[in-house]
Chain A
Amino acid sequence: MTECQSLIRELADKYGRERASLLPILQGVVERDNFLSDTCMTDIAKELDISAAQVYGTATFYSFLETQPRGEYVIRVCKTITCDMHGKKQIVQTLEDMLKIKVGETTPNKKFTLLETNCLGWCHEGPAMLINEKPYSGLTPEKVHDIISEYINK
């Protein structure tokens, strides 16, 4: 059994093998691997006894269920209006300069992926971003510099 198959089995034991268990299982895989590979989605389909197309259909609908390889840390910068008004562009610029990648790309060492996302719900403290699940708000280029330096050294 591959590593992915054993994880899927573990998740299915925990959440069940009904169709309604699909989302928690997909989320569980993404939490560990940062993305869903084709093989993994096929394995999930087998485990739940549904077609791979159904798994793929569900997975590709959600912006947090990635179907292509992502870095260990996925950075999602909020681009909705109030964050945009309060300096989101400088935040993205700082991140691009520090990581030497553009939005949508992953660093060569597979450590960081930089993305933009819709409203994160920190409008009163914008600009804001998520690094994996952890939110950071009230960002300034200096603050971003400190946060990312910490992650680089992790």
Chain B
Amino acid sequence: MSEQTLKRVDLIFGEYSSEKYKVLANTLHRSNEEILKDLLESGLRGRGGAGFPTAMKWKFTAETPGDEKYVICNADEGEPGTFKDREILSRVPRKVFSGMAICGKVIGARKGYMYLRGEYRFMLPELQKELDIYHEHAKNLGLNFPIEIRMGSGAYICGEESALFESMEGGRGEPRNKPPYPTTSGFMKKPTVINNVETFVNVLMIMRLGPEQYKKLGTTDSRGSKVFSVSGDTPIPGIYELELGMSLDRFVDEFGDGDTKAVQVGGASGFCVPRKKFKDTIIGFEGVPTGGSMMIFNSSRSMYNVLHNYLEFFEEESCGQCTPCRVGCQQLRKGIEAVKKGEKKALYLDQLMKLSESMKLTAKCGLGQSVANSFSSIVNNFKEEMIY
């Protein structure tokens, strides 16, 4: 059993300093170059799912000229099967604020925002209290970096960075064309660093441990630990901090109910991995990346129902701005319904597959582009369930 058990890590939620804000205070005395060098060394990649190297994002924004820059913490956690940011924000919110403040120093921003999803409105009073305490400490450290919390209002797409800016600017949450990227034109068209909640905590931990020690966790391509949200057919659902780079079969050994048929890695916009591929699938940037969502399905589940649920989700959450996504999501859903009912032949699935590929190529943002991930991985691996 002991050999089978995945290594638990206690980086994100662990107590990190007996003296509060010591790491922040020490980091503020270091040069920006040193901080960026440590971040680059650490190999930290964004924890929201896309995995962009954090040091590069910060460096690009720092190098963009301008007096007005912003740091934004993306707490619009909406990916189905993800709930780790809520846990981080309720257990270690000051680590998040401190990470944001370090970012503010490095890029030269004077203001930070946290965009919290509307579904987490109940957390606001407690979070605001914690924020007031942070402001108090910041004042004692001579740090002028105020942070403000903005609420979302129930729109999955606002987790997409440029849609989030639009929303914060008072508009519809419709993604922008890229480029320009947020590093040059983000919130209020100013250079902006936007990172996931967990990324900011990782930054703080790297500042505390140093890149060498941090690098001991994970693999070459996926450094550090990751907070996983485990749900579905598992006897032990919940939040687990684990090393990156494990194989999916070891994950299933630990979390499955003994009858696991498939695991959806990375939420509805991620990939569905069938049992026969568990052994060869690595959870990390070298294999299948995830923002933390791990949904486990056992053999009693219909993968048709799973896919249908995802497609309904995307159909409703599509912002409707670009045609491939607005029409594509709907046609994919109608398409699998028609095949299931026998109104269309099984071969029609190939046509739907082509449609999802076109969406990947032509949709404006990550939402429309990633529908093909779950669509093709479910249809390819569970074709007979789509038809019969």
Give A contacts to B, CB under 8 Å: 18-24, 26-27, 57-58, 61-65, 79-82, 84-85, 117-126, 130, 133-135
16 contacts between A and B (CB under 8 A): A19-B169, A20-B168, A23-B151, A23-B153, A26-B153, A62-B118, A64-B118, A81-B295, A82-B295, A85-B233, A117-B119, A118-B78, A123-B293, A124-B230, A133-B122, A135-B122
Taking a contact as CB atoms under 8 Å apart, the answer to whether B153 and A126 are in contact is no
Give B contacts to A, CB under 8 Å: 77-83, 86, 117-122, 150-156, 167-174, 188, 229-233, 237-239, 268, 293, 295, 301, 305-306, 309-310, 313, 316-317, 319
Taking a contact as CB atoms under 8 Å apart, the answer to whether B77 and A121 are in contact is yes
Taking a contact as CB atoms under 8 Å apart, the answer to whether A118 and B317 are in contact is yes
- Across the interface, which residues of B come within 8 angstroms of A135, CB to CB? 119, 122
CB nearest neighbor in A for B306? A81
Distance in angstroms between the alpha carbons of A120 and B117 in the assembled complex: 10
- Across the interface, which residues of A come within 8 angstroms of B231, CB to CB? 82, 123-124, 126
Taking a contact as CB atoms under 8 Å apart, the answer to whether A61 and B173 are in contact is yes
| B129 vs chain A, min Cβ distance (A) | 17
Q: Known contacts being A24-B150, A27-B153, is A121 close to B171, with CB within 8 Å?
A: no
Q: Known contacts being A19-B170, A63-B153, A85-B301, is A119 close to B229, with CB within 8 Å?
A: no
Taking a contact as CB atoms under 8 Å apart, the answer to whether A117 and B154 are in contact is yes
Q: How many A-B residue pairs have CB under 8 A?
A: 120
Distance in angstroms between the alpha carbons of A124 and B294 in the assembled complex: 10
Taking a contact as CB atoms under 8 Å apart, the answer to whether B295 and A119 are in contact is no
From B153, B301, B306, contact of A65 by CB (8 A): B153
Taking a contact as CB atoms under 8 Å apart, the answer to whether B81 and A123 are in contact is yes
- Across the interface, which residues of A come within 8 angstroms of B119, CB to CB? 117, 120-121, 130, 135
Taking a contact as CB atoms under 8 Å apart, the answer to whether B301 and A80 are in contact is no
Distance in angstroms between the alpha carbons of A63 and B152 in the assembled complex: 10
Q: Known contacts being A20-B168, A123-B229, A123-B231, is A134 close to B155, with CB within 8 Å?
A: no
From A20, A64, A123, contact of B153 by CB (8 A): A64
Distance in angstroms between the alpha carbons of A115 and B139 in the assembled complex: 45
Distance in angstroms between the alpha carbons of A137 and B169 in the assembled complex: 33
From B83, B305, B306, contact of A123 by CB (8 A): B83
Distance in angstroms between the alpha carbons of A134 and B122 in the assembled complex: 6
Q: A23-B151, A118-B156, A121-B83 are in contact. List 11 more A-B contacts (CB 8 A).
A: A23-B150, A27-B118, A62-B153, A80-B80, A81-B80, A81-B309, A85-B232, A85-B301, A118-B80, A119-B82, A124-B229
| B373 vs chain A, min Cβ distance (A) | 15
- Across the interface, which residues of B come within 8 angstroms of A62, CB to CB? 118, 152-155, 173
Distance in angstroms between the alpha carbons of A149 and B239 in the assembled complex: 32
Distance in angstroms between the alpha carbons of A39 and B171 in the assembled complex: 20
Taking a contact as CB atoms under 8 Å apart, the answer to whether A20 and B170 are in contact is yes
Taking a contact as CB atoms under 8 Å apart, the answer to whether B170 and A119 are in contact is no
- Across the interface, which residues of B come within 8 angstroms of A122, CB to CB? 83
Q: Known contacts being A63-B155, A118-B316, is A21 close to B310, with CB within 8 Å?
A: no
CB nearest neighbor in A for B239? A124
| A89 vs chain B, min Cβ distance (A) | 12
From B122, B150, B232, B313, contact of A119 by CB (8 A): B313
- Across the interface, which residues of A come within 8 angstroms of B173, CB to CB? 61-62
| B263 vs chain A, min Cβ distance (A) | 12
Q: Known contacts being A81-B309, A118-B156, A121-B86, is A23 close to B172, with CB within 8 Å?
A: no
Taking a contact as CB atoms under 8 Å apart, the answer to whether B170 and A64 are in contact is no
| B316 vs chain A, min Cβ distance (A) | 6
